Amino acid sequence: MMKQGKLLSVFLTAIIAIIALLAIFPLFSLIISSLRPSSELMRNGITLSVPFSQLNIDNYLYIFTQASNYWGWYVNSIIISILSIVLCLFFSSMVGYALAVYEFKGRQFIFILVLLILMVPFEILMLPLYRLMIGIGLIDTYLAVILPTIVAPVAVFFFRQYAAGLPKELMESARIDGCTEYGIFFKIMSPLMLPSFAAMAILQGLSSWNNFLWPLVVLRSNNMFTLPIGLATLLTPYGNNYDVLIAGAVMTVLPVIILFLFFQRFFISGLTVGGVKG
């Protein structure tokens, strides 16, 4: 039995290694292509071959010295992503927590509404949201991109499931000691919910960083563009600036990797506990 268990473990490890390699190949190809001359890219496209004699860092030097618009887009994406993460975690966690631990009239109805909104494609909501942004004068601003995401249904659902598994005895003890409801949430329950905050920070960060459609609708000036929109503008019928496009795409991966490395120790436990409790 032990031998069979070891063989099964080796087999599963090999399968996971193969899947990991398949997932890494596109990134590897992108990095190699970013080190190739733009003329070579135009001639042969993105390939898995490694032409060592042609590799150089000219594309990255161009980004750091001449592509001023790129860094403006980068800063816009960072600002929007950070604000989206912070506001979404703050408001969504409070809504999910309230739905999980408090008994009040209409609680189940509100939770059903959250589930229903999860099923509605964003494209259906986009036109009403766009008209709303015009009405309140937020077109071509950071707030226009951020506001629709500050209470995300998926985050509310996740926090609700996680908070439902928290020990209610701590709340009762805190109330006896004179702690307010806000104090209970911020001082006692929030530290217990750190894994869920980390998991949602990664998911919300990825969603905000890669968001293309909604920023494309509400942002109009070049200096307000985010990275996905800015990089898309480099592909035109009149010429394609591949030296910035490919190297810039590689640079956009770095914040995502940093975000995951920063929260990875909480990520799996947050998803696991939030998915089974409640």
What tokens were used for 243?
Answer: 């030296």
Distance CA 267, CA 204 (A): 13
Distance CA 104, CA 17 (A): 49
DSSP 166: S
Encode pLDDT of 13-28 as tens digits.
Answer: 899 999 988 888 888 8
Encode pLDDT of 78-127 as tens digits.
Answer: 999 999 999 999 999 999 999 999 888 888 999 999 989 888 888 898 99
What mean pLDDT do residues 225-229 have? 92
Architecture of 67-276 per CATH? Orthogonal Bundle (1.10)
Query: How many angstroms separate the first and last alpha carbons of the chain?
Result: 36
Tell me the pLDDT band of 267, cut-offs 50, 70 and 90: low
Distance CA 115, CA 68 (A): 43
The ranges assigned to domains in the chain are 1-56, 67-276
